[in-house]
Structure 1
Amino acid sequence: MTQLDTSNPPSDILNDHTSSKSNTVNICPSKIGNQIWYYPRFNRVLKKGPEVKVSEADAMRLLSSKTRVPVPQVYASFEKDGRGYIIMAMAEGQPLWKMWDSIDEGKKQYLIDQLSTYVQDWRRLSADYYGSVGSGPCGDVFFQHLPAIGKSERTFGPYASRSEYNEGLIEALRNARPDGIWGEEEQSLADRIRSLVGEQKTFSHGDLYPDHIFVDNNFTITAIIDWGASGFSIPEREAFEATSRDNHPIWIEIAEAALPHMKREDYIFYDEFNEALRLYSGI
């Protein structure tokens, strides 16, 4: 589907949303920032907000055209007045968390096998840069933390090589430190980062957990949603972020069975680095 011109958003959806007779439903009323609205009349969803980017829609289009991964069909995407808009199909089924405890081990394994197949499928996608789809900034968690006081929020990437990506990580660490704070611990982390090699640029969801995996009554995965953090990155990214963003024991067990194996020592290092990025901001 062709991306719409930012000056000409689809009037049927937007007019329905602003009408006093609209029966639109705010799917996530407690969500801060971005909003997600469901339009029963069209059976479509509007995701909008200052953090919504067209690259998320582009990622779903890429997956729909190049893989068998089930994603919501995108009808339109655009950015206007500092806000992004994505109009897409409503995901069928219910989040994995809502049914997991009530199903037997055979059905659980069936779901794990499906998830593993889809993850392998999207990991076959590659690019010549590290960043979001369309040569946008990196969505990796390492680049999403708040800066130290006195530093400015910024984006990082895209990067053409692993050495550039590594230097971006170090720059993110510097941005997370107040002026004048750079000691032996920071230098040790920077030296370790610079020693990392491997030019593989692997597609990652970047925010995979059970609420983003929809399942129907036949225990078939019908949709994987929320691709806002997705993009091309280091191969370890998927497993690290899936298990560090949500460390519920049951999800860890699912993720370890469905996602590519990550060496324990690599996880420990990336976790140490990630915590160092949060040291002064807490976020």
Structure 2
Amino acid sequence: MEFVRTNTSLPVPQVYHAFERASRVYIVMQRIEAPNLATQWCRRSEASKNKVLEQLKTMFEELRGLEAPKGVGVANVDLGPILDHRLPRQSQWGPYSCIQDFHKALVDDQDLAAVEDDSFSDLQELARFYHQQPWHHPVFTHGDLSSLNILCEQDEVVGIIDWETAGWLPPYWEYVTAWNVNPQNAFWQEEVDKFLTPYPLARDMDAVRRKYFGFY
């Protein structure tokens, strides 16, 4: 959060103190007194929704403008492992020197390019997607842009919270994680394309990845 606060104009809580006690890490931070979008979105007018979405679009274009450190592939803000409890088998992943290594880990290090059975044409397509060259540089990504994590006061976005999944990730990762919402947040799928760059192929390929290698 402090990295985003220092390097962008995004509204994030200020961190006052962080400490470890009894092998657990605690963060003392600013409390932003505002409701999240999940509790109010369906009651908003179209004009109100558009104002909020335009703000989000501007904010995340700014976040994408941050330059990745030289040599980073997929990593958290400190260039260590990313944290994502929605990924299968483990919570911490990497760090990886390139996006291709991250993709390889997501499919259990299996060589999908060796799949010859045409009944698994979706896996063959996933292999082509993962092995495309060159991959663009990673971008700084929140990783969990649920409406539950966006705080609004009237029509103003006043807080983006829950940055534990943030890091340097493939350009499409923000989109697919925001689009794959939990069932209580299903309405948000209709809004994601309005403030993030859509990656429809990446969304389809991530669905294949989740089909064979684990759901969020």
What TM-score does the superposition give when structure 2 sets the normalisation length?
0.82
> In the TM superposition, what is the alpha-carbon distance from 1:188 to its structure 2 partner?
4.2
Aligned counterpart, 1:243 = 179
**Using CA pairs below 8 Å that are at least 6 residues apart, which structure has the higher relative contact order?**
2
Task: For 1:74 and 1:166, locate their aligned partners in 2 and report how far apart those are by CA, in whole Å.
Answer: 33
Aligned counterpart, 2:54 = 113
What is the alpha-carbon root mean square deviation over aligned residues? Answer: 2.8
State the SS of the aligned residue for 2:13: coil
Gaps of 5+ in 1: 1-59, 147-152, 175-181
Query: Are the aligned partners of 1:200 and 1:234 in contact in 2 as well (CA < 8 Å)?
Result: yes
Cα deviation 1:174-197 (Å, max 9, x = unaligned): 9xxxxxxx9965974774365133
Task: For 1:195 and 1:258, locate their aligned partners in 2 and report how far apart those are by CA, in whole Å.
Answer: 27
Gaps of 5+ in 2: none
Give yes or no for the alignment of 1:260 onto 2:203: no
Cα deviation 1:113-147 (Å, max 9, x = unaligned): 011111111111232321111011123577x213x
Give yes or no for the alignment of 1:82 onto 2:23: yes
Task: For 1:191 and 1:99, locate their aligned partners in 2 and report how far apart those are by CA, in whole Å.
Answer: 41
Note the 1:190-269 alignment, pairs <5 A. 191-192=127-128, 194-197=130-133, 198-217=135-154, 219-246=155-182, 248-262=185-199, 264-269=200-205
Aligned counterpart, 2:75 = 131
Task: For 1:84 and 1:193, locate their aligned partners in 2 and report how far apart those are by CA, in whole Å.
Answer: 38
Aligned counterpart, 1:18 = none
Task: For 1:235 and 1:78, locate their aligned partners in 2 and report how far apart those are by CA, in whole Å.
Answer: 32
Aligned counterpart, 2:206 = 270
Query: Are the aligned partners of 1:205 and 1:231 in contact in 2 as well (CA < 8 Å)?
Result: yes
Query: Are the aligned partners of 1:135 and 1:158 in contact in 2 as well (CA < 8 Å)?
Result: yes
Partner residue of 1:168 out of 105, 122, 127: 105
Task: For 2:81 and 2:182, locate their aligned partners in 1 and report how far apart those are by CA, in whole Å.
Answer: 23
Query: Are the aligned partners of 1:70 and 1:222 in contact in 2 as well (CA < 8 Å)?
Result: yes
Q: Which amino acid aligns with 1:229?
A: T
Task: For 2:107 and 2:42, locate their aligned partners in 1 and report how far apart those are by CA, in whole Å.
Answer: 42
Cα deviation 1:137-174 (Å, max 9, x = unaligned): 123577x213xxxxxx4732111223332333233679
Query: Are the aligned partners of 2:60 and 2:196 in contact in 1 as well (CA < 8 Å)?
Result: yes
State the SS of the aligned residue for 1:260: coil
Query: Are the aligned partners of 1:96 and 1:210 in contact in 2 as well (CA < 8 Å)?
Result: yes
Task: For 1:136 and 1:190, locate their aligned partners in 2 and report how far apart those are by CA, in whole Å.
Answer: 27
Q: 1:171 to 1:81 in 2, by over 3 A?
A: farther
Aligned counterpart, 1:103 = 44
Note the 1:46-61 alignment, pairs <5 A. 60-61=1-2
Count of residue pairs brought into register by the alignment: 205
Q: 1:84 to 1:104 in 2, by over 3 A?
A: same
Task: For 1:259 and 1:140, locate their aligned partners in 2 and report how far apart those are by CA, in whole Å.
Answer: 20
Task: For 1:141 and 1:200, locate their aligned partners in 2 and report how far apart those are by CA, in whole Å.
Answer: 24
Task: For 1:207 and 1:157, locate their aligned partners in 2 and report how far apart those are by CA, in whole Å.
Answer: 18
Task: For 2:14 and 2:109, locate their aligned partners in 1 and report how far apart those are by CA, in whole Å.
Answer: 34
Q: 1:155 to 1:171 in 2, by over 3 A?
A: farther
